[in-house]
Amino acid sequence: MFSSSLPFLSLLSFFSFVIPSIVEVHAAINVTVDNSDPGILYRPLGSWSLDDSYDSGATDHFTGDQDAWAAFNFTGIAVYYLVHLYPSSLPTGGMISLDGGPAVAVTMWNPDRDSYGRQWETVWSAANLTNTTHMLNVSWWPNQLNQFISLDTIMYTIDNETDATSAGSAQPTASGADFGSSTTSSSNNTVPIVYSSSSNYEKLRRLQLRILLR
Ligand SMILES: *[C@@H]1O[C@H](CO)[C@@H](O)[C@H](O)[C@H]1NC(C)=O
Ligand SMILES: *[C@@H]1O[C@H](CO)[C@@H](O)[C@H](O)[C@H]1NC(C)=O
Ligand SMILES: *[C@@H]1O[C@H](CO)[C@@H](O)[C@H](O)[C@H]1NC(C)=O
Ligand SMILES: *[C@@H]1O[C@H](CO)[C@@H](O)[C@H](O)[C@H]1NC(C)=O
Ligand SMILES: *[C@@H]1O[C@H](CO)[C@@H](O)[C@H](O)[C@H]1NC(C)=O
Ligand SMILES: *[C@@H]1O[C@H](CO)[C@@H](O)[C@H](O)[C@H]1NC(C)=O
Ligand SMILES: *[C@@H]1O[C@H](CO)[C@@H](O)[C@H](O)[C@H]1NC(C)=O
């Protein structure tokens, strides 16, 4: 075993010595975009509402308007759409597209649970994107069931190129990407969501109001 792994180890130590001096480091960093971010375009104006009444402190923008959509531009190499899934009484979802491509139907509720999701869940994502500006668009999914679209959190990954001209480190990992870091500190995946019946009633009340006003 030792003799067969020796050539590999030699190669590894050769590269750990050489690579940091000739290759730039690509650091992938997730950027978290809150639903109140001014970069998100909500249309039609006024049909989206902020819900900040969740007991946990989570927030989202939601709408029951079938003409509604929201769009966000970002420059990066991956993007994630995260929501705290809505409960069984509130069917929720949307059609998500990237750069005007085909829209994908995305479920944003859990028919088996009578409370809001306890944590963020990635309900849609796209990876391996070119490091250019992309536009995400979420719009109404007309499936005869949905009552809402929820826009909770968008996360995108930037490819932060940094110079690595100093060859001081002999760590093999010095030539690898620095995955796992994040610029976000205010949000995390472990926020406990306590079922809030008041926000359910509030949503249904607003939906009924909107239907009455049609
Ligand atoms: C995204 O950028 C394109 C091209 O500049 C622009 O037409 C579009 O309005 C932008 N969308 C948003 C949501 O800002
Ligand atoms: C991205 O590219 C990697 C490497 O080619 C591949 O393994 C992975 O499945 C791709 N991911 C997506 C979402 O296409
Ligand atoms: C987003 O998608 C909706 C539904 O397809 C469309 O009406 C709207 O024009 C799109 N917005 C942008 C900025 O492309
Ligand atoms: C990107 O890298 C530069 C240079 O190392 C650093 O100053 C900057 O803070 C990084 N950007 C982010 C968002 O971490
Ligand atoms: C990706 O694009 C951003 C913004 O244009 C730029 O700052 C960054 O250096 C690019 N990353 C790479 C690896 O080219
Ligand atoms: C960014 O966040 C997504 C979703 O949580 C995760 O799958 C991905 O690994 C993260 N990427 C980085 C570079 O941290
Ligand atoms: C996650 O957020 C909750 C609520 O804001 C907070 O109590 C908890 O300490 C946070 N956990 C971490 C690891 O940041």
The b-or-e profile of 116-134 (16+ CB within 10 A means b, else e) is bbbebeebbebeebeeeeb
Ligand 4, atom nearest to 160 Cα: 1
pLDDT tens digits, one per residue of 55-114: 777 999 999 999 999 999 999 999 999 999 999 999 999 999 999 999 999 999 999 999
d(CA 119, CA 24): 36
**Residue 138 counted as domain residue:** yes
Ligand 1 pocket member 80 (CB < 6 A): no
d(CA 9, CA 15): 10
What residue numbers bound the domain in which 179 lies?
28-213
Q: What is the CATH number of the domain that holds 174?
A: 2.60.120.260
**Residue 2 counted as domain residue:** no
pTM of the shown model:
0.73
**Residue 21 counted as domain residue:** no
**Residue 174 counted as domain residue:** yes
**Residue 157 counted as domain residue:** yes
pLDDT tens digits, one per residue of 1-25: 445 554 555 555 555 554 444 466 7
**Residue 17 counted as domain residue:** no
Ligand 1, from 41, 132, 135, 151: best to mutate by most atoms within 8 Å of Cβ? 135
Strands 25-34 and 181-182: parallel
Q: How far is the CA of 93 from the centre of ligand 3 (A)?
A: 16
Ligand 5, atom nearest to 77 Cα: 1
Contact indicator for 69, 140 with CB cutoff of 8 Å: yes
Predicted local confidence at residue 195, as pLDDT? 35
d(CA 199, CA 14): 60
Q: How far is the CA of 101 from the centre of ligand 1 (A)?
A: 15
Domain tally, the chain:
1
Q: How far is the CA of 190 from the centre of ligand 6 (A)?
A: 15
Among candidates 96, 183, 92, 187, which has minimal Cα distance to 138? 96
**Residue 85 counted as domain residue:** yes
Predicted local confidence at residue 7, as pLDDT? 54
More confident residue, 201 or 111: 111
Percent of the residues in the chain that have a pLDDT greater than 70, as a whole number? 64
Distances, alpha carbon 151 to alpha carbons 36, 44, 118, 197, in Å: 10, 15, 16, 20
**Residue 12 counted as domain residue:** no
